[in-house]
Structure 1
């Protein structure tokens, strides 16, 4: 898939842009890239314009020029949409991408037709998780990005899938993350607030996707709010990475959600 580049005030973003129709934004997770979505983009692009940016310091995108937060990443995303002259989009955020999606929905709900958290949560980090983020910053500082990725990636997948080729693919993508980008993002995730009020207050259509065997974010953390406009889905035989582990099931849920929004 051909990549494009866009220079903005605080970052140069690389992104995939495929298909025509109503625009969909796909945001990847920590130490990922737009490549995480390679199995779902072609089919989604048959009926939609699908745009998947590399977040700052990830994939082909440059570092953020200032210390950033999840809120600043949401602002950057709004600037990105402005540059592409996109007024309304449907946003799907995987893990870290879900944190950014919630921050975007909080500040710029008028730019959304609906949004989805894919293996993500509105809850903030626990005290234990915050200590883990700080320890991982230290790990990258002392030992480099490979040490972080080698410990992280196997936990993203169901234990049943660790012999699959896509685990090695996720590692390769992770190794491409800039060390400073990983460290800045770890601190941004560590300091993010509770955003369950966004789910509680929104009238937009929402899709919450959890993995049956997710070792990172269990379904009860994803399904934090129950309302009529919020659809809750568990992807069978999947850990934290259903876009690799069970892409057909994830695609079916995304496409069904998009149809509901249109109707």
Structure 2
């Protein structure tokens, strides 16, 4: 069910609400990555909506949410999600964040008492300059104008295929949703400069402080598959997180994008065990 929530500063967040009848069992808030939208993590949502209420958000500047703030960053997006938690009076919250969504989730977990567990899907650690070299070129699709949404979908699907993503109907749904009418054609309406600003805020993010403040049970899932010559986040990027006693870790051979878009059958069971407090693994 598609919903909008008004924010105190006049902005709004769009989100999908699933399995409202399961709200007494807890609510999982899914927060997508830098250039994603509320459909990016659908394969995970479909698994856990059987037992939990699910909220999947469009961050500002993505999907049908309002435009980004001039000072857009991990910090501002975290404040928005906290507003959602408070406005909906959610009491038993599980945060599931992918890439930038993981940073946002880690920050919220250290600041909100309603959060019970946190899942970080390949994100939340230090970022190095090599990471910027891998991410910046991928933002070009936000600047391009296409004759039709079909052209946009085809071009974006080809990019994902090159990243080893299986382009199935759920991936097409996520791509199609972000295609909007522009002044002179079709494409992604996100502001590329503000998206870059969001990514640059990774470098300002205090990983150590956020990790220390988050005392909730946390599951970090890392993608060790290469994007070019290396993973987006290497094990050394996660050094600060790995020092925390409350964090459990799953290492995978998938790359950053495969983790988000491809069905991860083995992971689904491990996450289910973590949600029930039954999963354990050595760092």
Q: TM-score range by the shorter chain?
A: 0.7 to 0.9
The answer to whether 1:210 aligns with 2:225 is no
2:114 matched residue in structure 1 = 111
Q: Distance in 2 between matches of 1:85 and 1:122?
A: 30
The answer to whether 1:250 aligns with 2:267 is yes
Instruction: Quote the offset at 1:163 in angstroms.
Output: 6.3
> Greater share of helix residues, 1 or 2?
1
Distance 1:249 1:257, change over 3 A: same
63-72 or 235-244, larger mean C-alpha shift: 235-244
Task: Give SS of 1:91's match.
Answer: strand
Q: Distance in 1 between matches of 2:207 and 2:140?
A: 30
1:4 matched residue in structure 2 = 3
Distance 1:117 1:221, change over 3 A: farther
Q: Quick one: which of 170, 190, 193 aligns to 1:179?
A: 190
Distance 1:201 1:155, change over 3 A: farther
1:15 matched residue in structure 2 = 15
153-162 or 200-209, larger mean C-alpha shift: 153-162
Distance 1:109 1:26, change over 3 A: same
The number of residue pairs the alignment matches comes to: 257
User: Structure 1: which 5+ residue stretches go unaligned?
Assistant: none
TM (normalized to structure 2)?
0.75
Instruction: Quote the offset at 1:258 in angstroms.
Output: 0.7
The answer to whether 1:30 aligns with 2:34 is yes
The answer to whether 1:67 aligns with 2:77 is no
Instruction: Quote the offset at 1:228 in angstroms.
Output: 3.2
Asked whether the 8 Å contact 1:242–1:250 carries over to 2, the reply is: no
Distance 1:239 1:150, change over 3 A: farther
20-29 or 228-237, larger mean C-alpha shift: 228-237
**Deviation sequence 1:109-151 (CA, Å, 0-9, x none):** 4232121210213214x3455577777778855x459999999
Determine which structure has more spread, i.e. the larger CA radius of gyration.
2
Distance 1:149 1:68, change over 3 A: farther
2:198 matched residue in structure 1 = 188
RMSD, aligned α-carbons:
3.4
Asked whether the 8 Å contact 1:88–1:110 carries over to 2, the reply is: no
